[in-house]
Structure 1
Amino acid sequence: MANPRDNADAPKRQKVQAAEVGTDILKGLADLAPATSLSRLAEHVGMPAAKVHRYLQALIASGFAEQDAVTNHYALGPEALFVGLAAIGRLDVVRAATPHLAALRDSLNETCFLAVWGNKGPTVVHVEQPLRAVTLVTRVGSVLPLLGSSTGLVFNAYLAEGETAPLRAGEAGLPGVPDADELHRQMTEIRASGLHHVHGLLMPGVNALSAPVFAVGDQLAGVITVVGAASAFSADVHSEAAGRVLETAQAITARMAGRRPA
Structure 2
Amino acid sequence: MDKPLATPKPKQKVQSAEVGTDILKALADLSPSTSLSALAEHVQMPASKVHRYLQALIASGFAMQDAATNHYSLGREALYVGLAALGSMDVVKLAAAPASELRDEFNETCFLAVWGNRGATVVLLEQAHRSVTLVTKLGSVLPLLSSGTGLVFAAHLPAAETRELAAHELRSTAKHPLADNHDYQQQMTRIRATGLYSVHGLLMPGIDALAAPIFDASGRIAAVLTMVGSASVFHADENSAAAQKLLSTAQLISWRMGYSKR
Match of 1:144 in 2: 142
Alignment of 1:1-262 (within 5 A): 92-172=90-170, 174-175=173-174, 176-179=176-179, 180-259=181-260
Alpha-carbon deviation of 1:177?
Answer: 4.2
C-alpha separation between the residues in 1 aligned to 2:182 and 2:170? 13
Decide whether the 8 Å contact of 1:111 with 1:128 is kept in 2: yes
- Matched-pair contact (CA < 8 Å) for 2:217–2:260: yes
Q: Do the aligned residues in 1 keep the contact of 2:89 with 2:257 (CA within 8 Å)?
A: no
Give the letter for the 2:217 counterpart: V
Q: Partner of 2:136: helix, strand, or coil?
A: coil
Deviation at 1:112, TM superposition (A): 0.1
Cα distance in 1, alignment partners of residues 245 and 163 from structure 2: 31
Residue 91 of structure 1 deviates from its aligned partner by: 6.9
For 2:89 and 2:120, the matched residues in 1 are separated by 16
Task: Kindly state the Cα deviation for residue 130 of structure 1 after the two structures are TM-superposed.
Answer: 1.3
3-state SS of the aligned residue for 2:135? Answer: coil
Query: Gaps spanning 5+ residues in structure 2: where?
Result: 1-87
The CA deviation string for residues 27-75 of structure 1, in whole angstroms up to 9 with x for no partner, is: xxxxxxxxxxxxxxxxxxxxxxxxxxxxxxxxxxxxxxxxxxxxxxxxx
Root-mean-square deviation (CA), in Å?
1.5
SS in 2 for 1:151: helix
| CA-CA distance at 1:181 after TM superposition | 2.2
* Structure-2 separation of matches of 1:177 and 1:257: 36
Q: CA deviation at 1:259?
A: 3.6
State the AA in 2 paired with 1:136: L
- In structure 1, the gaps of 5 or more residues are 1-89
Distance in 2 between residues matched to 1:158 and 1:138, nearest whole Å: 23
Q: Distance in 1 between matches of 2:169 and 2:155?
A: 16
Residue 234 of structure 1 deviates from its aligned partner by 1.2
Partner of 1:31: none
Equivalents in 2 of 1:199, 1:171: separation in Å? Answer: 19
Sequence identity (%): 53
CA deviation map 1:203-226 (0-9, x unaligned):
000000000001111111000000
Number of aligned pairs?
A: 172
Deviations 1:217-253 (A, max 9, x none): 1111000000000101110011111101101100100
Displacement over 6 Å in runs of 4+:
none
Q: After superposition, what is the alpha-carbon deviation per residue over 1:131-152, rounded to whole angstroms, capped at 9, x for unaligned?
A: 1211112100000000000000
How many Å separate the matches in 2 of 1:182 and 1:113?
28
Query: Under a length normalisation based on structure 2, what TM-score does the superposition of the two structures give?
Result: 0.63
Change in Cα spacing, 1:138 to 1:110, as seen in structure 2 (3 Å) is: same
CA-to-aligned-CA distance 1:83-133 (integer Å, 9 cap, x gap): xxxxxxx97000000000001001110000000000000000000011121
Q: Report the secondary structure of 2:142's partner residue.
A: coil
User: Counterparts of 1:133 and 1:244 in 2: how far apart (Å)?
Assistant: 25
Deviations 1:163-190 (A, max 9, x none): 0011011011515442322211111111
Find the structure with the greater CA-based Rg. 2
**Which residue of the partner structure matches residue 5 of structure 1?**
none
Partners of 1:209 and 1:231 lie apart in 2 by 15
